[in-house]
Chains A and B, each alone.
Chain A
Amino acid sequence: EPEVTQTPSHQVTQMGQEVILRCVPISNHLYFYWYRQILGQKVEFLVSFYNNEISEKSEIFDDQFSVERPDGSNFTLKIRSTKLEDSAMYFCASSHDRGVYEQFFGPGTRLTVL
């Protein structure tokens, strides 16, 4: 059964460093997302990406964040200068297309900023 994969599973970084989180969405999906979940809190939307451009972004997704689809399979989230409050689980999701399609989530990357 196709699934979303994410690497690494756990990333530890120093405050101020850049991190890149990687995702491989389901192969025939066209719409990609990043969400995050701070420990003990709800899952929060960060950004959606469709047709090689950002479709929507939340207030959390400021200039420190960027997304990219560098090739036909990977989808990345970059945080330029990490802060302590960026520590969270980051989930990548994909859906077949826009609209009411199920979003399938990856296993997540746990980001720890020291």
Chain B
Amino acid sequence: EDQVTQSPEALRLQEGESSSLNCSYTVSGLRGLFWYRQDPGKGPEFLFTLYSAGEEKEKERLKATLTKKESFLHITAPKPEDSATYLCAVQDANTDKLIFGTGTRLQVFP
């Protein structure tokens, strides 16, 4: 059964304090791994798609990486506006649906 596990559940950072969020996954065949940002009461906002091990993508202070078993979302010098829940989702080779993890709730304090 496809599964996605994210850690930590919550992360508190000081502004400028870099860190990483983890997403471990189990799928029969990975078609794609997706990162989304979700603000309270809002829909998930697309950030990145990663397709194969070794791939990396960057956007402003965020960088996503992928291995055969996990993905990391690195946040460099975060700002308070980066506070949100970050969701990881996988798409199995046999389906188009996304399977989500429970997310990491990030709080960045000034």
Interface, chain A (partner B; CB < 8 A): 4, 31, 33, 35, 41-45, 48, 55-56, 58, 89, 91, 95, 98-100, 102-108, 110
Are the C-beta atoms of B43 and A107 separated by less than 8 Å?
yes
Name the interface residues of B34-92: CB closer than 8 Å to any CB of A: 34, 36, 41-46, 49, 51, 87, 89, 91
Most buried by A among B51, B96, B99: B96
- The closest CB in chain B to the CB of A10 belongs to B41
Interface, chain B (partner A; CB < 8 A): 31-32, 34, 36, 41-46, 49, 51, 87, 89, 91, 95-103
CA distance A89 to B49 in the complex (A): 24
* A34 to B: closest C-beta gap in Å: 11
Chain A residues with Cβ below 8 Å from B32 are 100
Chain B residues with Cβ below 8 Å from A4 are 43
* B94 to A: closest C-beta gap in Å: 10
* B38 to A: closest C-beta gap in Å: 8
- Take A43-B87, A99-B31, A100-B49 as given contacts and tell me if A107 and B100 are in contact as well, using a CB distance cutoff of 8 Å: no
- The closest CB in chain A to the CB of B97 belongs to A45
- The closest CB in chain A to the CB of B51 belongs to A100
Are the C-beta atoms of B102 and A106 separated by less than 8 Å?
no
Chain B residues with Cβ below 8 Å from A56 are 95-97
- The closest CB in chain A to the CB of B89 belongs to A43
Are the C-beta atoms of B44 and A43 separated by less than 8 Å?
yes
